[in-house]
Amino acid sequence: MIKFSRLFVMIVISFFIAFNFTETKKDKLENEVEQYFRYLTDTIYRYQINVFNSKIVTDEYNKPKGLLYFNTPTIDEKTKNISVNIDNFFRLINENKIIQGNVWKVANIYPNYMYIKPYSDKCKNRPGDKIVNCKQYFDYLLKKEKIKRNLEQSNLTVYETMKVYGPYYKDKIKGGIITVYYPLYFDRKIDSILLLDIKADFLKDFLHDFNGENFTNFSLDKKIKLNEFIFHILICDI
């Protein structure tokens, strides 16, 4: 009877330790996900401030890196030089542990031009010739994504105007792409649209690394809609 009781107690203790270990690791995982998404929103906020205070392009013959025109053939007095800003932004979000190298494209879209990172000659066709010739890409996105031009008559916060879509498949990217449209408002009026294309497997990669470091076996719930999860956690972290 004594031996049986001792065995029973050992089983209970072992179960408790395993359960406690799992709960502790679960809390750690949730805290890390929340923390790294908060870093992402902070990075977006700092980028937004830097963009609003960036210099105007004055030299048409030394076009900033990543600048792509739509209907305007030459630089006007409103063209901003955000080449360095978008390079730094691309680097910082790629270094964020929750994303870590899974950023596919970053673009900042204005009414007459856009900056895109990484830039290549293929980017010239990104908006689509039909869209550019028919209507400016900026206006096309406002209508297609139902982005408000101003928030004066709206109770929405700036962060609630975000749109998150996907995953969808293009360029043969395994797992697909998640796209985040983040409108940038100045005095509650639309200034530009920040676009993030992120490989949809970024959370699986993060969990894989976390499990390896913490000897756990967490996985994503298959019922989770990834775009809705990303939207809500970004909103909650503001």
Dump pLDDT digits (tens) for 50-90. Answer: 998 898 887 766 678 888 877 655 556 678 899 999 999 99
Query: Which positions ≥6 away from 237 have C-beta within 8 Å?
Result: 34, 37, 38, 41
Long-range contacts of 10-19 (CB under 8 A, 24+ apart): none
Give this prediction's pTM: 0.80
Q: How confident is the model at residue 238 (pLDDT cuts 50, 70, 90)?
A: very low
Q: At CA 153, angle to CA 152 and CA 159, rounded to 5?
A: 65
Task: Say which range, 21-30, 126-135, 149-158, 227-236, has the weakest mean pLDDT.
Answer: 126-135
Quote the pLDDT of residue 11.
Answer: 59
Quote the pLDDT of residue 67.
Answer: 85
User: What percentage of the chain reaches a pLDDT higher than 90?
Assistant: 24
Distance of CA 119 to the CA centre of its chain: 18
Q: Which of 194 and 173 is assigned the larger pLDDT? A: 194
User: What percentage of the chain reaches a pLDDT higher than 70?
Assistant: 76
Quote the pLDDT of residue 230.
Answer: 82
Distance CA 117, CA 25 (A): 36
Quote the pLDDT of residue 193.
Answer: 94
Distance CA 167, CA 194 (A): 18
End-to-end Cα separation, the chain, in angstroms: 58
Q: At CA 162, angle to CA 91 and CA 87, rounded to 5?
A: 15
- Kindly tell me if the per-residue pLDDT of 187 is higher than 70: yes
